[in-house]
Amino acid sequence: MAGRGDRALVAGPEAVNEPRAEWRAVRVGLAVATVVVAAQLIVGGGYALVHDDPTAHDRAFACLTREKSLAVETGIRDPIAESAAAGALRTRVEGNGVTASFSASEGAAERLRELYESVAELPEGALERRGRVVLVWEGSASPTQRQTMYDCVG
Amino acid sequence: MLGRRTYAAIIGGELALWVGLLAWDVAGFDWLRGYDAYANWLYAETVVDDHRLPSTAESGVWHSPPLWFLLAGLLGRAGATVGIAPQLAGQLLALAAGLALLVLVLLLARAIWAERHVLHVVSLGFAAVSPVLIRASVMYHPETLAAALAAAGVLIAVRTLRSGPTLLAGACSGLALGLGVLTRTWVLPVAVAVVVILAVGRGRSRAWAPAALCLVALITVTAPWFVNQQLAHGSALAFNRPAPAGSIVTRRPASFWLGPRALEMFDTPHAPHARNQLAPQLFADWWGDYWLVWGDETGDAMEPSRVRQSWIGLLPTILGLGGIVALALLAVARRDAALALLPATVLALGGAFVLFQLRYPFPDGDTIKATYLLIALPALALGAAFAADVLCRRSRAVGIALGAAAAVLVASEIEFLLL
């Protein structure tokens, strides 16, 4: 059984509902949360001001080499990939070679995909466009091979 | 305070809408796109077929506790007899646990603030439209069950602290939390927080027994699992990837803490942008879909929705975090142990999450997932609802503005969440 003293410590909802104390606590809480969120945005804004955004190509290159530990080539002997406005790279995922071509727009990427389709006979599932990136695999890509590239090209 | 019928209609409407939305999404979601889906399925098959835990070679999630996999496997077997795919049975289990979590959020709100109907409605709404819950509820994944069991343990503890500790309540709370730990180890820090609060919040009488019984139940339920992990894998908290050598203090660069690419979350809120930057990645994953498992597979069509989600997430994030801070302040001022449980669970889970990130700093950022923090959803929902309720009571104009904002947010959320 709770005694008199216990009731003072195990407070009931009446005590918690006291409007002025609640308003004070919420004011402080919201101020703290706003400062935290604002600080994060200011850090992000400051960084964006003094750093150029890496290109999709640079981001994918860094991701594939650093995070996936893959060997990546950028000098590619593939005239279609070489014509991609935002660059291209080539790597090998779980034994399957893949070329990623980066375009300036989704429309340009789609035209690149159609060009591949018209000049090369590719295995089922070896050609795909993902946003502004076109992926061309040597053989049909498995889900895990695809996922590795998705992780890095976005 | 709302009328009894209006209140019941709104609560019922919220739950019915959620179930309808999720039923639609489960039907349209490819189970293999969920986190570790195939490894989860292999685990469930091994447990049910061979009556043992999988080896490190048999499932990539061998380090996860077995309760959900056992239930999903058994449900899969039962479902197969009536023509339901075993994976769908697991998804339905996750969905049912998600619904249970919502009901527990409502019960928690009622246990702490019995008469504040608006607060109940807002807390339920906040939890219901949180993308992190919706995504977890359609996956073949144990996260929602763990969160529901943790919430049940917290609810029992809140009730017993409000009405006076009893032995039965202490044991039941420990049992629920123990089952939660047997589902996901992320429940462990929450369980520790509950035991500590039960112990220190017992009042002046020597009512140690409920806290002690809670601890005993927790240890009894979870000990076999942790002992097995220690003996089989060399650590009670074994993980599927080895931790790198060296001090954990230097394992993460400054960018992990500072999140310098935070603004990219309002332009391209998904991988690989701002990868391994704690706050931006968590924020984008909580309110959107950082790992691109939602919507079309190429990710193009959903991009505007994902960007909108980042903007939408700002207000509820501030309300949720602000509300938790407010509840902590009030709990200390009033020496209210039941109220302290909410911020304590968030603090304990957050601390464990950061330690985990320091221990396992993988370059692919794979361990930074908002679903790991799903257990904090009830406390954040209640915190946000509390803050919104106090603001509404303070000023009618603020109340109207918040109500209008909430309507816009929910409408936009549903557009994103409906597959």
Q: A3 touching B, CB under 8 A?
A: yes
Q: Using the predicted structure, report yes or no on whether residue A11 has a pLDDT greater than 80.
A: no
Q: Using the predicted structure, report yes or no on whether residue B268 has a pLDDT greater than 90.
A: no
- Residue A9 is predicted with a pLDDT of 42
Q: Which residues of chain A does B161 touch, with a Cβ-Cβ cutoff of 8 Å? A: 10
Which structural domain range is residue A99 located in? Answer: 56-153
The reply to whether A26 and A77 lie within a common domain is no
The reply to whether A73 and A139 lie within a common domain is yes
pLDDT digits (tens, 9 = 90+) for B317-340: 999 999 999 999 999 999 899 999
Q: Using the predicted structure, report yes or no on whether residue A8 has a pLDDT greater than 80.
A: no
In sequence order, which ranges of B273-395 are alpha helices (DSSP H)?
A: 278-287, 303-334, 337-359, 377-394
Which structural domain range is residue B126 located in? Answer: 4-233+250-417
CB within 8 Å of chain A, chain B residues 140-169: 161-162, 164
Within 10 angstroms of residue A88's Cβ, the number of other Cβ atoms is 25
What ipTM does the predicted assembly reach? Answer: 0.91
The reply to whether A46 and A83 lie within a common domain is no
The reply to whether A142 and A93 lie within a common domain is yes
Percent of chain B's residues with pLDDT above 70: 97
Q: A154 touching B, CB under 8 A?
A: yes
Which of B272, B339, B394 has the CB atom closest to A63's CB atom? B272
pLDDT digits (tens, 9 = 90+) for B49-89: 999 999 999 999 999 999 999 999 999 999 999 999 999 99
**In-domain check, residue B113:** yes
- Residue B162 is predicted with a pLDDT of 87
**In-domain check, residue B122:** yes
Q: With bands split at pLDDT 50, 70 and 90, how would you rate the model's confidence at A7? A: very low
pLDDT digits (tens, 9 = 90+) for B188-247: 999 999 999 999 876 545 568 889 999 999 999 999 999 999 999 999 999 988 888 778
Give the minimum alpha-carbon distance from B109 to chain A in angstroms, rounded to a whole number: 11
In sequence order, which ranges of B182-258 are alpha helices (DSSP H)?
A: 187-200, 209-233, 254-258
B273: CB partners within 8 A, 6+ apart: A59, A154, B261, B264, B265, B267
Q: Using the predicted structure, report yes or no on whether residue B295 has a pLDDT greater than 90.
A: no
The reply to whether A40 and A69 lie within a common domain is no
Q: With bands split at pLDDT 50, 70 and 90, how would you rate the model's confidence at A3? A: very low
**In-domain check, residue B121:** yes
Residue with tokens 């071509």: A101
The reply to whether A45 and A63 lie within a common domain is no
Measure Cα distances from B279 to A40, B358, B413 in Å: 8, 14, 21
- Residue A17 is predicted with a pLDDT of 54
Q: How far apart are CA B126 and CA B378, in angstroms?
A: 9
What's the domain count of chain B?
A: 1
The reply to whether A27 and A44 lie within a common domain is yes
The reply to whether A147 and A72 lie within a common domain is yes
CB within 8 Å of chain B, chain A residues 90-119: 106
The reply to whether A78 and A129 lie within a common domain is yes
What's the domain count of chain A?
A: 2
Q: Token digits for B370?
A: 């908002």
CB A83 within 8 A of CB A111: no
For chain A, the farthest-separated pair of C-alpha atoms sits apart, in whole angstroms, at: 87
Residues composing chain A: 154
Q: A5 touching B, CB under 8 A?
A: yes
**In-domain check, residue B239:** no
pLDDT digits (tens, 9 = 90+) for B397-408: 999 999 999 998
Q: What pTM does this model have? A: 0.86
The reply to whether A9 and A75 lie within a common domain is no
